[in-house]
Amino acid sequence: MQKRGLAFRKTIDIVLKGLSILFVALTVFMMFWILYTVISNGVKALNWSFLTQPTKPYGIPDGGVLNALLGTVIITFGAVLIGVPAGLLGGIYLAEFAKENRLGNLIRFSANVMMGIPSIIVGLFVYALLVFTTKHFSGLTGSVALSIIMFPVVLRTTEDMLRMVPDSLRESALALGMPRWKATFSIICRAAKTGLITGILLAIARVSGETAPLLFTAQCSDSWPGSYFTQPTANLTVLINEYAGNSPFEEMHVRAWGAALLITAAILILNISCRFIFKESKSAK
């Protein structure tokens, strides 16, 4: 180490401590800036017809976002139906049967890599797989795209949660003569219940704000999401993209802010309550 004066070293230390406080404050400030923008612009759009009317083309008064809201809920729900069972089962395999073997490590590795694959690539993939072959866009393909994003997240959290269950519980269940599946579902999964639910909710929160994969799959429409299986289905995030990015009309920008407020509030509430549930159950133990 080269020689440095004490005063110099102390100054560097103080400067960097100051910088660190500044950076943290700046980041938190940016977060509040974004939230403030969304809330202050979003509440202007909130009124009765905004929440009860479907989207309407520009010029027709009292359009709302109810169909897009329902569409987002249905598409996300579809993604949960496809992605969560697959993720849970896969997580069970990793935690119960493949703790330290090659195959398990390969699966773990690809799940981790998959979590980092850009969501727009998933959109392209599902477009190529389903839309290109069946020749129509639909809400269902949107659900498939979201489920592919969800799957590795649920897989890894399930594995982590099941691994936290002590082995003695496993052994005592098996010692009673239970078949493995029964022991897993009724003893081990039950013991890890809160963790599993939190993981699933966080995965839902993560995918429900996704836009890029839906651009190529669910797209957007002004109709009600009744034709989920065969037609483009309205959803909040693509609607925001259309209204804010591709529309010059002030009225549509206001509605886009309203939709942004709905989706942000839903996701943040989901996130905060998850952390709360998980903390509660941890402190109860």
Q: Does 278 bind another protein (CB under 8 A)?
A: no
Closest to another protein by CB, 66 vs 107, is: 107
Q: Does 152 bind another protein (CB under 8 A)?
A: yes
Q: How far apart are CB 180 and another protein at their closest, in Å?
A: 4
- Which one of the spans 11-19, 57-65, 66-74, 164-172 is the region binding another protein (CB under 8 A)? 11-19
Closest distance to another protein from the beta carbon of 123 (Å): 8
The residue within the footprint of another protein, chosen from 39, 180, 194, 254 (CB under 8 A), is 180
Q: Binding string, 106-125, against another protein, x = CB under 8 A?
A: xx-xxxxxx-xxxxxxx-xx
Q: Which is nearer to another protein, 67 or 158 (CB)?
A: 158
If one asks whether residue 190 binds another protein (CB under 8 A), the answer comes out as: no
**Binding residue for another protein, selected from 56, 169, 209, 227, defined by CB under 8 A:** 209
Contact in structure between 58 and 251 (CB atoms under 8 Å): yes
Q: Closest separation between CB of residue 12 and another protein, Å?
A: 6
Among 60-68, 69-77, 188-196, 261-269, the segment contacting another protein (CB under 8 A): 261-269
Q: Cβ 188 to another protein, closest distance in Å?
A: 12
Nearer to another protein, 46 or 106 (CB): 106
For the segment 28-87, give every residue that binds another protein (CB under 8 A).
28, 30-31, 33-35, 37-38, 41, 85-87
Distances from the Cα of 266 to the Cαs of 45, 85, 146, 173, 234, in angstroms? 16, 23, 17, 39, 18
CB 74 within 8 A of CB 146: no
**CB-nearer residue toward another protein: 226 or 275:** 275
Q: Answer for the pair 116, 122: CB distance below 8 angstroms, yes or no.
A: no
Give the nearer residue to another protein in terms of CB position, either 59 or 179: 179
Question: Which residue stretch of 50-58, 65-73, 160-168, 263-271 sits at the interface with another protein (rule: CB under 8 A)?
Answer: 263-271
Q: At 48, which amino acid appears?
A: W
Q: What is the 3-state secondary structure (H, E, C) of the chain?
A: CCCCCHHHHHHHHHHHHHHHHHHHHHHHHHHHHHHHHHHHHHHHHCCHHHHHCCCCCCCCCCCCCHHHHHHHHHHHHHHHHHHHHHHHHHHHHHHHHCCCCHHHHHHHHHHHHHHCCCHHHHHHHHHHHHHHHHCCCCHHHHHHHHHHHHHHHHHHHHHHHHHCCCHHHHHHHHHCCCCHHHHHHHHHHHHCHHHHHHHHHHHHHHHHCCCHHHHCCCCCCCCCHHHCCCCCCCCHHHHHHHHHHCCCCHHHHHHHHHHHHHHHHHHHHHHHHHHHHHHHHHHHC
Under rule CB under 8 A, residue 195 binds another protein: no
Q: Taking CB under 8 A as the rule, which mask of x and - marks residues 124-143 in contact with another protein?
A: xx-xxx--x-----------
Minimum distance between the CB of residue 150 and another protein, rounded to whole angstroms? Answer: 12
